[in-house]
């Protein structure tokens, strides 16, 4: 049996060697990892914008440089040019006690004479946070696309939010009613067509739910309502102009 001192020294040595190894690896790989993160975010924005073709890293960057602007808006609907919108984190902004100091990022994409707006959406599902993007056509009412790029929901149930069938449901849905008031979009239980049969108005704000994933569906409804609300003042100003 070895002495206690030997054990302590040995274990310390092992731990120091391991941590040195790991911190070196983490430092060396950080740049590549950050770039991958950023690219994957941009990719999901592109998907939300309805850009179908597959692009590699440089192509994505040049597409963003040519077509996409990112800026920050406050809850009154004014653009704040002084904030670096790249650094904005919706969750951090939500926690700021003074609502007037919150700034939210929004993407404007100009493609073939068409302007599309894209906003981040963040909410809670059953197990995890859901991260995604929603884009609106230039009428600021019709949904152009939606994506979820990060979540930890159950495969086959809640994780269906990342599937095409679920996301395609949103295409063409309206976030405003006929008078122009904001009503958001609801993920219903079961089929939207059954839930609101014959009610065209309601149907234009409803999408099919995921069976077996009621809480995830409800989470999506809630995050759409809460996050889109933040941008409604800005949309109203755009319309007024």
Partner 1 sequence: MADATETAEPLLSAKNRKTFKDPFMVNNPITLQVLGICSALAVTAQLKPSLVMGIAVVFVVAGANVTISVIRKFIPVRVRIIVEMTVVATLVILVDQVLRAYAFEVSKQLSLFVGLIITNCIVLGRLEAFAMGNKVWPSFLDGLGNGLSYAAVIAIVGFCREVMGFGQVFGFRVVPQALYDNLGYTNNGLMVLAPGAFIILGLLIWVQRTVSGHVED
Residues near partner 1, by CB under 8 A = 1-2, 6-7, 10-11, 14-15, 18, 21-22, 25-26, 29, 32-33, 36, 39-40, 152, 155-156
Kindly write down the DSSP assignment for every residue of 41-84, as one continuous string. HHHHHHHHTT--S---HHHHHHHHHHHEEEEEE-TTS-EETTS-
For residues 71 and 81, the answer to whether their CB atoms sit within 8 Å is yes
- Contacts of the segment 64-71: beta carbons below 8 A, 24+ positions apart: 67/109, 67/110, 67/111, 68/107, 68/108, 68/109, 69/107, 69/108, 69/109, 69/110, 70/105, 70/106, 70/107, 70/108, 71/105, 71/106, 71/108
Q: How far is the CB of 201 from partner 1 (least distance, A)?
A: 35
Q: How far is the CB of 191 from partner 1 (least distance, A)?
A: 19
For residues 208 and 190, the answer to whether their CB atoms sit within 8 Å is yes
167/204 with CB nearer partner 1: 167
Q: How far is the CB of 30 from partner 1 (least distance, A)?
A: 8
Kindly write down the DSSP assignment for every residue of 117-156, as one continuous string. EEEEEEEE-SSSEEEEEEEE-TTSSBEEEEEEEE--PPTT
Q: How far is the CB of 26 from partner 1 (least distance, A)?
A: 6
136/159 with CB nearer partner 1: 159
| CA gap 218, 44 in Å, rounded | 22
19/229 with CB nearer partner 1: 19
Phi, psi of 30 (to 5 degrees): -55, -50
42/218 with CB nearer partner 1: 42
Q: How far is the CB of 178 from partner 1 (least distance, A)?
A: 40
Q: How far is the CB of 224 from partner 1 (least distance, A)?
A: 24
Phi, psi of 79 (to 5 degrees): -80, 135
88/161 with CB nearer partner 1: 161
33/101 with CB nearer partner 1: 33
54/95 with CB nearer partner 1: 54
Tokens linked to 75:
């809850």
For residues 43 and 26, the answer to whether their CB atoms sit within 8 Å is no
Q: How far is the CB of 214 from partner 1 (least distance, A)?
A: 19
């Amino acid at each position: 049996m070895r002495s206690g001192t030997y054990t302590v020294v040995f274990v310390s040595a092992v731990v120091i060697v391991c941590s040195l190894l790991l911190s070196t690896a983490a430092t060396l790989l950080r740049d590549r990892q950050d770039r991958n993160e950023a690219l994957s975010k941009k990719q999901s924005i592109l998907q939300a914008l309805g850009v179908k073709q597959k692009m590699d890293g440089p192509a994505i960057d040049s597409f963003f440089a040519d077509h996409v602007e990112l800026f920050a808006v406050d809850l009154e609907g004014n653009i704040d040019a002084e904030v670096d919108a790249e650094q904005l984190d919706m969750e951090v902004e939500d926690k700021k006690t003074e609502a007037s100091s919150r700034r939210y990022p929004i993407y404007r994409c100009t493609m073939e004479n068409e302007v599309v707006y894209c906003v981040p959406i963040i909410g809670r599902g059953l197990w995890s946070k859901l991260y995604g993007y929603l884009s609106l056509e230039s009428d600021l009412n019709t949904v152009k696309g939606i994506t979820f790029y990060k979540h930890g929901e159950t495969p086959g149930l809640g994780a269906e939010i990342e599937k095409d069938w679920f996301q395609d449901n949103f295409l063409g849905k309206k976030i405003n009613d006929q008078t122009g008031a904001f009503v958001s979009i609801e993920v219903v239980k079961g089929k939207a067509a059954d839930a609101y049969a014959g009610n065209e108005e309601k149907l234009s704000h409803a999408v099919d739910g995921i069976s077996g994933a009621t809480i995830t569906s409800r989470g999506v409804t809630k995050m759409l309502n809460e996050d889109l609300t933040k941008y409604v003042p800005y949309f109203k100003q755009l319309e007024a102009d």
